[in-house]
Structure 1
Amino acid sequence: MTYDSSALPFPQGFRSAALAAGIKPSGKTDLACVVSERACAWAFAGTRSSTAAACVTRNRQVYAGGQPVRALLVNAGNANAATGSQGARDNTDIADSLGGILNIRPHEVLTASTGIIGHLLPMDRVLGGLEHLPGELGSEAAPFASAIMTTDTRPKTASAKLSNGAVIVGTAKGSGMIHPDMATMFAFAFSDAAVDQDALRAAFPGIVSRTFNAVTVDGDTSTNDMALILANGAAGQVEMAEFLSVLESVMRGLARQIAADGEGATKLLTVRVSGAGTEAEALSAARTCCVSPLLKSAVHGNDPNWGRVIMAVGRSGAAVNIEAMTVSVQGVPVFAGRPLAYDAGAVSAAMKAEEVVFEVNLGVGQARGEAWGCDLSAEYVVINAEYTT
């Protein structure tokens, strides 16, 4: 698995462009696209928020049509959410415009917007920027990964190679307003492998559940989050089981990067649950721990307060046999149906690492699940108190 975006090319047959269209007040790049030379098999997951943005609604409609796609257009700095019928028309117009510029059909263009909710897109700037995108097309992933960021502190990429030489390259953005139910982020994966679209779509929800829906930063779910995989087949057929396994590993890598870059985060929080009755219950217990502000605060303060794990698991809805339940912090057992003696100072020192791991066995079954979050710092409040001002 590769995570360095500085010299990461897109798979063969894909090209990308990014530029500053003036959507972000900072003047940073904020308009980007990825274009495939060939039609792509694809799978999609979008937020289940009842206030979903125009881009999610349109992509969902295109997805239902079942036809291949060729391009993805992303703008950052403006969510185009809660913008009514005008926002929906603007979203359609930018897809139509890029389709015309690239000489492809409008329904072959997917859209994604991220940023502040409740503002119409500055269409003059967006449409002006679209005209220049084809001249910026290149093979590197780094410009695209940077252009889609909002409050992220760093780009997020991951890649892996398949046995037939095909590759999967993933990019993501996400830092705040992140919680399971499609997490709150963008995650886009691209591959030159040839795969069956029906099989890909059947497997994709499970992959999303175990990766991006296992990420939480602050308990808030966005209007715009989505995950996509586009595969253009340029490198030839690959065994489907291998492809899905590698895709999940790439998306897991992206999910962990999102959690580690949570707004104000100083460390990654990982909760591994075993001994659950079902995978769904294991994931629920792990996610509830990761979103608990009490546990997140304890992690920030290097406090091995395992009682907050017991509390979070207990309200998660997962079945628990507390007499058989175990908890460990950074590999140190602290609870096994009863409190255990341990060196609190040593465990606190171990929690000063970049990643803090809690392992919990619920004592009722064989199912497992893992979730990722981050600590809760004062900087999180500062970032969100000043977000629009």
Structure 2
Amino acid sequence: MTRSELRFPQGFSAAALAAGIKPSGKPDLSCVVSERACAWAFAGTRSTTAAASVLRNRDLYAQGGPLRALVVNAGIANAATGKQGARDNADLADALGSVLNVPEETVVTASTGIIGHLLPMDKVLSGVEHLPEDLQPDVLPFATAIMTTDTKPKTAHATLQSGASIVGTAKGSGMIHPDMATMFAFAFTDAEVDQAALRSAFPAIVARTFNAVTVDGDTSTSDMTLVLANGQAGATDQAEFLAALEGVMRDLARQIAADGEGASKLLTVRVTGAKTEGEALTAARTCCVSPLLKSAVHGADPNWGRVIMAVGRSGAAVDIEKLTVAVQGVPVFAGKPLSYDAAAVSRSMKDAAEVTFDIDLGVGSEKGEAWGCDLSAEYVSINADYTT
């Protein structure tokens, strides 16, 4: 199924329009609505300067009530906007609830874009009034409307044996170093899911997916991931569902890394032989966020010393005499430097869309994987000109 053919699971529909938030005039206001009340799971940024949307969603999550809708604006993050920003965020949820005739507390919000700017509420509220006019099952309009510096929409899907489906979409290109978690990831399913079980499993799934991706080491004020399950397709095997959900989220995480600002290559780091899964993930993500290693990837330089450096500073336990490193499948270090054809490995790195490092820490049996991208001059250019 192509991205343009992808449809939401049964019972969900979406709408998107240009409300005038983005100076470009591109779509910037969107929503997803469920016919039925949804069980849900949520994770938001741990940033102490979190946006109004994250703070309100966190409060609703603690209350444990069901959801009916999500509304997203792109272009302005509504972060560092004080009490007025909080009121505007609440008004956004209330406005969509009113036009849908559902309680305000069943509507969650998400805002992404420039920090420190207030939402143009006259444009936003006018746009919200028109959103329900164009509700449709197509995913692409929504996936496109939530973008900021992304170069392409990001979607993923899975079908379960019961016939239920999971559809995910995400945005994120820069300010990507989730800690829940500018990154959004939303998943929608018509599977019948126990909310308590979903919420119990969700943190570990997030740790292995969105918390294992990094572009530049900067955690956004607005990062969040959200799963809504309306149960319209009936019961499904919970273990199968959770595995499929993790697969969808993993796919989206890799797409975010590959579409990093200025990126030309996806960087994948696989760590084995770790003492704990947490240490494996930490070592892998530390490699992916290293400016030195990212620059080497951009230059197709198989400088494995930068891997040794990153693993060492990650804090993960390692036995240097048992430590092994391979670049593009070629062993380059095994307790000591190995002889290898550096020019051939460099050519492999240069020609590939994905550059992979495999590392064995030599101290245990746990593993983890993280994703990032190369560091290019274009990244600096994009962010030097972001608001000017």
Give SS of 1:228's match: strand
Match of 1:57 among 52, 55, 58: 55
- Partner of 1:168 in structure 2? 166
Query: RMSD of the TM alignment (CA)?
Result: 0.6
1:118-267 correspondence to structure 2 within 5 Å: 118-182=116-180, 184-267=182-265
- What is the distance in 2 between the residues matched to 1:60 and 1:236? 28
- What is the distance in 1 between the residues matched to 2:141 and 2:193? 27
- Partner of 1:82 in structure 2? 80
Give SS of 2:359's match: strand
- Partner of 1:387 in structure 2? 386
- What is the distance in 1 between the residues matched to 2:248 and 2:137? 19
Counterpart of 1:67, as a letter, is G
1:11-90 correspondence to structure 2 within 5 Å: 11-90=9-88
Counterpart of 2:373, as a letter, is C
Counterpart of 2:138, as a letter, is E
- What is the distance in 2 between the residues matched to 1:151 and 1:182? 22
- TM-score computed with the length of structure 2 as normaliser: 0.99
**In terms of mean alpha carbon deviation, does 235-244 or 179-188 score higher?**
179-188
1:149-191 alpha-carbon deviations (Å, 9 max, x no partner): 0000000000010010000000000000011413541000000
- TM-score computed with the length of structure 1 as normaliser: 0.99
- Partner of 1:279 in structure 2? 277
- Partner of 1:290 in structure 2? 288
Give SS of 1:248's match: helix
**Could you say if the C-alpha distance between residues 271 and 183 of structure 1 is closer, same or farther in structure 2, counting changes exceeding 3 Å?**
farther
Q: What stretches of structure 2 of length at least 5 have no aligned partner?
A: none
1:271-305 alpha-carbon deviations (Å, 9 max, x no partner): 00000000000000000000000000000000000
- 4+ residue segments displaced more than 6 Å: none
Counterpart of 1:156, as a letter, is K
- Partner of 1:108 in structure 2? 106
1:295-316 alpha-carbon deviations (Å, 9 max, x no partner): 0000000000000000000000
1:315-326 correspondence to structure 2 within 5 Å: 315-326=313-324
- What is the distance in 2 between the residues matched to 1:273 and 1:346? 23
- What is the distance in 1 between the residues matched to 2:162 and 2:238? 12
- What is the distance in 1 between the residues matched to 2:182 and 2:331? 33
- What is the distance in 1 between the residues matched to 2:146 and 2:25? 13
Counterpart of 2:266, as a letter, is L
User: Is residue 113–residue 182 contact of structure 2 (8 Å, CA) maintained in 1?
Assistant: no
- What is the distance in 2 between the residues matched to 1:153 and 1:43? 28
Residue-pair matches, total:
387
- Partner of 1:347 in structure 2? 345
- Identity rate, percent: 76
Counterpart of 2:158, as a letter, is A
Counterpart of 2:153, as a letter, is P
User: Is residue 9–residue 165 contact of structure 2 (8 Å, CA) maintained in 1?
Assistant: yes
Q: CA deviation at 1:5?
A: 1.8
Give SS of 2:16's match: strand
- What is the distance in 2 between the residues matched to 1:204 and 1:328? 32
1:242-287 alpha-carbon deviations (Å, 9 max, x no partner): 1000000000000000000000000000000000000000000000
- Partner of 1:376 in structure 2? 375
User: Is residue 181–residue 225 contact of structure 2 (8 Å, CA) maintained in 1?
Assistant: no
- Partner of 1:270 in structure 2? 268
Q: What stretches of structure 1 of length at least 5 have no aligned partner?
A: none
- What is the distance in 1 between the residues matched to 2:5 and 2:188? 16
Counterpart of 2:257, as a letter, is A
- Partner of 1:313 in structure 2? 311
Q: CA deviation at 1:75?
A: 0.2
User: Is residue 283–residue 316 contact of structure 2 (8 Å, CA) maintained in 1?
Assistant: yes
